[in-house]
Amino acid sequence: MERKIRVLIAKPGLDGHDRGAKVIARALRDAGMEVVYTGLRQTAEMIVAAAVQEDVDAVGLSVLSGAHMHYFREVVAGLRAAGADDVLVFGGGIVPDQDLPELERLGVGRVFGPGSSTDEVVAYVREAVAHRSTSLT
């Protein structure tokens, strides 16, 4: 029996708008993945600790506050420092196009903006996690 993909969905910082995060968490769960939702107002350290403790395959950050560069940078660095650099980091929210190349350079897989379909997110997570696990073996 194949292990289910495990995904942590997090809302870093002071941003209190979590509807999108909850929609994505539910879509991933309904697609057969195990989902951990950390809730609001998480620090990067809390997100990394939860990701390591839960042994997730992916971390999805939902950022609407404009602090996306800070939080993505801190979470990616924290995962690397914890020896979990094989964990896919992706995101959603309001991220200007000019920031996408830097996020990619940091190791962020993909960022989904407003209007992205849940099917698109589910397909991406499945494909990216499968690609990572085959390239690591």
99-112 tens-digit pLDDT: 999 999 999 999 99
65-91 tens-digit pLDDT: 889 999 999 999 999 999 999 999 999
Residue by residue, what is the 3-state secondary structure of 55-112?
CCCEEEEEECCCCHHHHHHHHHHHHHHCCCCCCEEEEEECCCHHHHHHHHHHCCCCEE
17-30 tens-digit pLDDT: 889 999 999 999 99
pLDDT of residue 65: 83
Residue extents of the structural domains in the chain: 6-136
CATH topology of domain 6-136: Rossmann fold (3.40.50)
Q: What is the pTM of this model?
A: 0.94
Considering the chain, what is the average pLDDT of its residues? 94
